[in-house]
Amino acid sequence: IQKVAYTLNDFTITVARTLQIKGREVGKFLPIVNYDLPPKPVDIAENEESKQAWRRAATDIRNKRAAEFKKSCRTRMTMEAVERFSKYERFYIPWSFDYRGRAYPIPAFLTPQDTDFGKSLIRSADESYITESGKKWLAFQVATTFGLDKETMADRLLWTTQNIPLITRVATDPIDNIGDWEGADEPWQFLAACEEYYSVVVTKERKTTGLFVATDATCSGLQILAGLARDKETARLVNVLPSERPQDAYKVVADTAKPNCPMHIQKVMDRKTVKRTVMTIPYNAKPYSNRSYIRDALLEKGIEIDKEDLTVTVQAVRDAMQKVVPGPMKVMKWIEDEVGKAIKGGAIELQWVTPSGFIVNQRIMKKEKKNVKLQLLGEIQLKIAMDKKEADINRHKAATAPNLIHSLDASLLHLSIDKFDKPIALIHDSVLTQSVDMDELSAIIRETYMHLFAEHDYLNDFAQQIGAETEPPIIGDLKPESVIDSTYFFC
């Protein structure tokens, strides 16, 4: 991934510069909005009341200016990076692995893991001639970034072909037609996709394409756990198994939990209410964080919930997870139990080797509180690692399941990239490549998942590596080779 050459996207940069001058916000693009000081009243010298009123109004404006300056920090730094890199026709991004094997770009700006605005500013420096497959994936990118990411592939492609006038307006006059694109789910990437599709597919004025197209895993934590547990029902819900349209595990959990929620919550118990909770439970999120996610989701709907009803709602969702995805829940419980035994047995750290050969070392030591006197802040309390070798059993138990999942989704991408010799970028459990290469990359990822879980019994391997005392809970009714035919595994 460090061999991939990038270049700036002149189209989106031109739009950003214009909006920067206008002080116009769009999505994550937050330029400084200038506020003028109020004019001084003519009697300010002799009228004390008038003078004080002006001072209060001027102070409010100065406070707004300070707030705008702070809020616009990332946008200003991004535009500064654009100016510095505008003299280069191509540049490269250095990457690093975290201790689980996930890849992260080292720079903070102009990378595939930037904000929606930041991502729209870069493209592949080595463009490819457009193909019929490439046209399909460009249409996919247009519809997906607009907000149709839950629709079928056919519906996304149809939406794009039915909205050529909108795409044309956005691509040819984005400033005067800003209302056509600023409300998209990912407005800046939608803007970039519209211009690419218009120039390459509609007018055919360009024969090559360099726009990166992204596909995402469906709830990757559950996809990995479904493979580990060989759990067919969970695999079906997260698109490991083929289906005519994308499956929605969040909606199924919400529908299952609904009858057990307080009556006034049932009417708003939908996928959006439970999404963050369902997404994070596979990463060992506990009821405390579940409470905040559900409370925040309900507040967005204008619903306030008291403590008792929130407790009932959270428990309903967690109980629904036990019914809907039993395999993953049993695996997580087994991991927590076995890790507890290992640490109690004297282990200081856990180590496992992923299928790609990456060695994960999980070392979490107990910390103690120390009072430290600082020159400016006075006496404060800090947590520091203890010198003696004492593992933190509770944090080990909480961290192992999510770290195992992260290491395996990273391993899936390691092995996939090893077979793919085209421009590619990664965002945790998402892959990006040029539209003309996405068919090939999608097939490789499905084949790799199949080999990862069909030809290897990795949960038993993991059990041996951490010295588990009991056998892992493998349901065993999933045939991972079925993923080969799944359109929506990464989509």
pLDDT digits (tens, 9 = 90+) for 432-475: 999 999 999 999 988 888 888 877 789 999 999 999 999 999 88
Compute the average pLDDT of residues 148-162: 92
- Check residue 375 and give its pLDDT: 82
pLDDT of residue 16: 96
Q: What angle do CA 195, 429, 254 make, to 5 degrees?
A: 100
Say if residue 386's pLDDT is above 70.
no
Q: For 177-189, b where at least 16 C-beta lie within 10 A, e where not — what string?
A: ebebbbebebbbb
How far out from the chain centre does Cα 66 lie?
A: 30
What letter represents residue 206's amino acid? Answer: R
CA distance 22 to 342: 60
Report d(CA 455, CA 481) in Å as an integer: 9
> Could you tell me which of 151, 230, 136 has the C-alpha nearest to residue 449?
230
Q: Which two tokens stand for residue 254?
A: 């919400």
Q: What DSSP character marks residue 347?
A: -
Cα→Cα distances 287→52, 276, 281, 337, Å:
52, 12, 9, 18
Provide CB contacts within 8 A for 27, sequence distance 6+: 116, 117, 182, 186, 187, 188
* Between residues 92 and 474, the one the model is more confident about: 92
CA 82 to chain centroid, in Å, comes to 24
Average of per-residue pLDDT values in the chain:
90
Closest Cα to residue 445, out of 478, 405, 474, 418? Answer: 418
